[in-house]
Amino acid sequence: MEEAQRRALRRARARLVAALRVAPLWEPLERRGLFTRPMVEEIQSAGSRGDQARQLVIDLETRGKRAFPLFLSILRDTGQGDLADMLMQECGHLPAPPQLGDLRPVELDLRGEKHNKSLAVDKRNRDLVYELKSDPCGRCLILNNVNFSRDSDLSARDGSDVDCEKLEKRFKALSFDVLTRRDLPAQKMVSELQELARQDHSALDCCVVVILSHGCQTSHIQFPGGVYGTDGKAIPIEKIVNYFNGSHCPSLRGKPKLFFIQACGGEQRDRGFVVDGDSPSDEAPGGSLESDATPFKTPAGNVDQPDAVASLPTPSDILVSYSTFPGFVSWRDASSGSWYVETLDSVLEQYARSEDLLNMLLRVANAVSAKGRYKQIPGCFNFLRKKLFFRCK
């Protein structure tokens, strides 16, 4: 969707919420391919007519280049032409919306000139790339836990401030508004995450959460692992992710939500296995090497309970990048920071201008897996629908 069309929807949102009759829209929205049936049902579950109208207008921004003219056409077909005219005025003399006959699939002429084929390929590729055009492109919250209470039996995470400083600079360079919070107990971590999820992200294109802390195994359904507050209470990763799902954070629907977790996934130490001479190798770095591991603990207390399973929607547009494989420790050097963050920062610096996020995370995994006497392999749970290329200043 063009930026002028996004602005028109935002300026007219209050009037649309007040006047839009949503009931006649569901069938044509689905029939004409603007929303799928599950998407329509999720919007309908938003609550009252006004809540549904608000959610529909927000979600329209995520539905591609045809969404705005298609919506105008559907408004006219359902007797709401006055609202279509109002949106056209807000947008500033847009071309007339296409009629249904204009929306039939067009077969490519395989006998056409070569440059026409290239254009078709480029268009297909653009459809599979998230648009990060806003400035800033999104918000980034970094939760950095270094010092833990005596009762927690958790050691200080020396070197974590090095990680934090690197990622603050890196995500600012990638056009994010960065907010850092240090040494928070579990409930305050939850409060910061919920506050971020409650904010209006309508004018933004992405959201990033970074957590630097001790970690552990927890019971889970979707995303494994947990992270500790400074009071020694664990928060399941899946609970953190679900604060930003379509139900709790509607203004991020259809937009990439990225989580980077520097914490252990458990207590196991990976000694690796013998490989041939062509495989990468690296000597263990100097300095004091520590892990962020703590034993498995069943979550206790309200702060640790996973959300009700029945209320969890499909986790689309989400990527959770873990510093290590579930169940294994994650190594951190007291002077240079963690292997994972050091490598992630370096890869982003070198390749963010030319490669998508998943390709860069493969580079991170390959580089970290080659380090040290003990081994570590980062990985991710990827539910992104498209490629993501960062914006570099």
Q: What are the pLDDT digits (tens) for 175-206?
A: 999 999 999 999 999 999 999 999 999 999 99
What per-residue confidence (pLDDT) applies to 310? 33
What is the DSSP secondary-structure string of 28-91? HHHHTTSS-HHHHHHHHTT-SHHHHHHHHHHHHTTS-TTHHHHHHHHHHHTT-HHHHHHHHHHH
Q: Is 143 helix (H, G, I), strand (E, B) or coil?
A: strand
Q: How much is the pLDDT for 327? A: 55
Q: What share of the chain is helix, strand, coil (3-state, %, to 5)?
A: 40, 15, 45
Q: Which member of 140, 206, 207, 264 is catalytic?
A: 264
- Cis bond upstream, residue 98 (ω within 30): no
Write out the residue limits of the CATH 1.10.533.10 domain(s) in the chain.
Answer: 3-97
In the prediction, which pLDDT does 37 show? 83
User: For residue 67, what are its two tokens?
Assistant: 């969404």
Look at the block and give the residue holding tokens 């009252």. Answer: 48
Strands 337-338, 234-236: pairing kind? unpaired
Question: What is the b/e burial string over 316-354, where b = at least 16 CB atoms within 10 angstroms of the residue's CB?
Answer: ebbbbbbbbbbbbbbbbbeebbbbbbbbbbebbeeebee
Q: How far is residue 109 CA from its own chain's centroid?
A: 38
Catalytic position from the list 91, 137, 214, 249: 214
CATH number of the domain at 3-97, out of 1.10.533.10, 3.40.50.150, 3.40.50.2300, 3.20.20.70? 1.10.533.10
What is the pLDDT at residue 354? Answer: 94
Q: What is the CATH topology of the domain spanning 138-383?
A: Rossmann fold (3.40.50)
| 224 φ/ψ angles, rounded to the nearest 5 degrees | -75, 160
Pick from 318, 311, 383, 385: nearest CA to 42: 311
- Enter the pTM of the model: 0.61
Q: Judge whether 264 counts as a catalytic residue.
A: yes
In the chain, ranges of CATH 3.40.50.1460 domains: 138-383
Query: Which tokens go with 370?
Result: 């080659």
Q: Which residues of 126-146 are buried (b: 16+ CB within 10 A; e: fewer)?
A: eeeebbbebebbbbbbbbbbb
pLDDT at residue 285, rounded to an integer = 45
Say how many CA atoms lie within 13 Å of 224 toward its Cβ. Answer: 17
Distance of CA 384 to the CA centre of its chain: 8
CB proximity list for 84: less than 8 A, separation 6 or greater? 72, 73, 75, 76, 97
pLDDT in the model for residue 331: 66
Write out the chain's pLDDT in tens, 393 residues: 788 888 888 888 888 888 889 899 999 898 888 888 888 888 888 788 888 888 888 888 888 878 888 888 899 888 998 898 888 888 874 444 444 444 434 444 444 444 444 444 344 466 789 999 999 999 999 999 999 999 988 888 888 999 999 999 999 999 999 999 999 999 999 999 999 999 999 999 999 999 999 988 777 777 888 999 999 999 999 999 999 987 789 899 889 999 999 986 434 443 333 344 444 444 444 455 555 544 444 444 444 333 333 333 456 899 999 988 665 666 667 777 788 999 999 999 999 999 999 999 999 989 887 765 566 778 899 999 999 999 987
The predicted structure's pLDDT at residue 15: 87
Maximum pairwise Cα distance, the chain: 74
Residue 201 is among the residues annotated as catalytic for this protein? no
Half-sphere exposure of 360 (CA within 13 A, CB side): 22
Q: What is d(CA 123, CA 104) in angstroms, rounded to the nearest whole number?
A: 17
